[in-house]
Amino acid sequence: MNIGQASEASGVTAKMIRYYESIGLMPPAGRTGSGYRVYGEQDVHMLRFIRRARDLGFALDDIRTLLGLWRDRERPSAAVKAIALKHIDELTQKIAELQAMRRTLQHLAEACHGDGRPDCPILDDLAETGHDGARPAKAQTSTKMQIKKNGGDRSPPCH
Amino acid sequence: MNIGQASEASGVTAKMIRYYESIGLMPPAGRTGSGYRVYGEQDVHMLRFIRRARDLGFALDDIRTLLGLWRDRERPSAAVKAIALKHIDELTQKIAELQAMRRTLQHLAEACHGDGRPDCPILDDLAETGHDGARPAKAQTSTKMQIKKNGGDRSPPCH
DNA sequence: ATAAGGCTTCCCATTATAGGAAGGTCAAGA
DNA sequence: TCTTGACCTTCCTATAATGGGAAGCCTTAT
């Protein structure tokens, strides 16, 4: 089957399929005499695997490892679990950060009249001197997570 | 003061200060005869504002608007609040997505022995045919949020 | 004067994805 | 058979915000 059909069957865009091949996440596809890529059920299966992993927020680098473990019939399940747990940690951390931001913003928004008057606690907070805007400390939480970016589309209602 | 001192005083790296200037978020800094950028308290104040806004997860584009409102003594607080509420919505959505991922992963991880044996519910899930990996539809919610270092995402996993 | 350290600009990398241009290929219809 | 349109190919660009580094000028203290 063509790349377009593989895309249709896997839910991964043709663009991404080529990209995954270019970075070695997918093995080089077979080619027809005229250069068209050719895919089989195996490939579609792998693409679905990748897609599902992306939907769960795994970075392509982790997916690369997961694919290796998937292929390896002798893998210790501990290796897989470790990757999952690490990812759960990252998610937990990121969630905490976002919640902290939201909490602060909600307080500020509640305090803001939101009318025609110029007084604004939100701006006051941002402009406030003393948020520890000083020193360029760098002990960030730097979660390197990536997690999808576009409209992957799918996701039917859970019933 | 030099860019290094402004950086120290604001908590924004020199690299970023130059970048903010290059994209017009900060006005062009004054220069010494030899080309060094010169900053005053005003500038440091603005840099702190930007930094605080970044810490709350605002995208530079929103910050651009917020700076404009900050400068405008006549702004209606409603304009500021609207931006904050929009951001809260984005955060809420992102949080929900990440929580959904985490929930799914936690279930899978709990079911995985995590020992030397190869059986792994996590891989089974990823490999499972039928996660609706089919059709590459395109309906998007495309949250353009930036938030420090991750990306947007999709698909609420059914568990 | 010389070295150290700060500054400047410019280029590259990151992450996953999308968009588009230029041009080749294939299948179906006129 | 020729044309057309849909599909394929590669290559380049952009995104958001940030970091890294090179090459070279400037300053300041020794």
> Residue A103 CA to nucleotide C16 C1', Å?
29
Spacing of C-alpha A10 from chain mean position: 18
Split at pLDDT 50, 70, 90, the class of A134 is: low
pLDDT value of residue A150: 36
CATH architecture of B3-55: Orthogonal Bundle (1.10)
Considering only CB atoms, B150 lies closest to which of A45, A73, A143, namely A143
Q: Within an 8 Å CB–CB cutoff, is residue A52 touching chain B?
A: yes
Q: What is the pLDDT of residues B89-123, one digit of tens each?
A: 999 999 999 999 999 999 999 999 999 999 999 99
Cα torsion A29, A59, B109, A74: sign: positive
> Residue A83 CA to nucleotide D5 C1', Å?
47
State the best of B115, B150, B158 to mutate against chain A, taking most chain A CBs within 10 Å.
B150
* Structure tokens that stand for A152 in this block: 């992957």
pLDDT value of residue A44: 97
B110: which chain A residues are within 8 Å (Cβ-Cβ)? none
Please answer yes or no on whether A154 and B147 come within 8 Å at the CB atom: no
Residues in Cβ contact with A57 at an 8 Å cutoff, skipping those fewer than 6 apart: A87, A91, A145, A147, A148, B98, B101, B153
Considering only CB atoms, B84 lies closest to which of A45, A51, A109, namely A109
Look at residue A139 and tell me whether its pLDDT is greater than 50.
Answer: no
Please answer yes or no on whether B134 and A11 come within 8 Å at the CB atom: yes
Residues in Cβ contact with B149 at an 8 Å cutoff, skipping those fewer than 6 apart: A142, A143, A144, A145
β-bridge mates for residue A30, sequence order: A38
Distance CA B129, CA B125 (A): 9
Q: Within an 8 Å CB–CB cutoff, is residue A122 touching chain B?
A: yes
**Mean pLDDT confidence for A49-72:** 97
β-bridge mates for residue B37, sequence order: B31
Q: Supply φ then ψ for residue B30, to 5 degrees.
A: -70, 165
Average pLDDT along chain B: 85
Q: What is the pLDDT of residues B115-151, one digit of tens each?
A: 999 999 999 999 987 776 554 433 323 233 333 333 3
Distance CA A75, CA A64 (A): 14
Closest CA to B58 of B152, B153, B148, B151: B148
For A150, A152, B24, the CA distances from B151, given in Å and listed in that order, are 9, 13, 24
* Structure tokens that stand for A99 in this block: 């919640």
| Chain A 62-121 residues whose Cβ is under 7 Å from strand C | none
The answer to which of A52-61, A109-118, A133-142, B90-99 has the lowest mean pLDDT is: A133-142
> Residue B56 CA to nucleotide C8 C1', Å?
31
Helices (H), A13-134: 14-22, 41-55, 60-71, 77-111, 121-127
Distance CA A68, CA A46 (A): 11
Look at residue A147 and tell me whether its pLDDT is greater than 70.
Answer: no
pLDDT value of residue B134: 53
Look at residue A157 and tell me whether its pLDDT is greater than 80.
Answer: no
Split at pLDDT 50, 70, 90, the class of A149 is: very low
* Structure tokens that stand for B20 in this block: 């903010």
Residues in Cβ contact with B124 at an 8 Å cutoff, skipping those fewer than 6 apart: none
Boundaries of every domain in chain B: 3-55, 58-127+143-159
Distance CA A84, CA B106 (A): 8
Look at residue B159 and tell me whether its pLDDT is greater than 70.
Answer: no
Which chain A residue's Cα is nearest to B78? Answer: A114
Q: Within an 8 Å CB–CB cutoff, is residue A96 touching chain B?
A: no
CB A78 within 8 A of CB B114: yes
Fold of A3-58: Multidrug-efflux Transporter Regulator; Chain: A; Domain 2 (1.10.1660)
CB B77 within 8 A of CB A29: no
Distance CA A2, CA A25 (A): 19
Give the 3-state secondary structure of residue B91.
helix
**Mean pLDDT confidence for A26-51:** 96
* Structure tokens that stand for A93 in this block: 């951390």
β-bridge mates for residue A31, sequence order: A37
Average pLDDT along chain A: 86
B91-102 burial, b at 16+ Cβ within 10 Å, e below that, comes to bebbbebbbbbb
Strand pairing class (B37-38; A30-31): unpaired
**Mean pLDDT confidence for A10-18:** 97
pLDDT value of residue A132: 67
CB A56 within 8 A of CB B102: no
B137: which chain A residues are within 8 Å (Cβ-Cβ)? 151, 153-154
Q: What is the pLDDT of residues B17-29, one digit of tens each?
A: 999 999 999 999 9
Distance CA A149, CA A99 (A): 20
Count of CB atoms situated within 10 Å of the CB of B148: 16
Which chain B residue's Cα is nearest to A78? Answer: B114
Look at residue A98 and tell me whether its pLDDT is greater than 90.
Answer: yes
Look at residue A16 and tell me whether its pLDDT is greater than 60.
Answer: yes
Look at residue B7 and tell me whether its pLDDT is greater than 70.
Answer: yes
A18: which chain B residues are within 8 Å (Cβ-Cβ)? none
Q: Within an 8 Å CB–CB cutoff, is residue A107 touching chain B?
A: no
Considering only CB atoms, A153 lies closest to which of B9, B128, B139, namely B139
A56: which chain B residues are within 8 Å (Cβ-Cβ)? 101, 104-105, 126, 157
Considering only CB atoms, A78 lies closest to which of B106, B115, B149, namely B115
Split at pLDDT 50, 70, 90, the class of B79 is: very high
The amino acid present at B33, given as its one-letter code, is G
B76: which chain A residues are within 8 Å (Cβ-Cβ)? 115-118
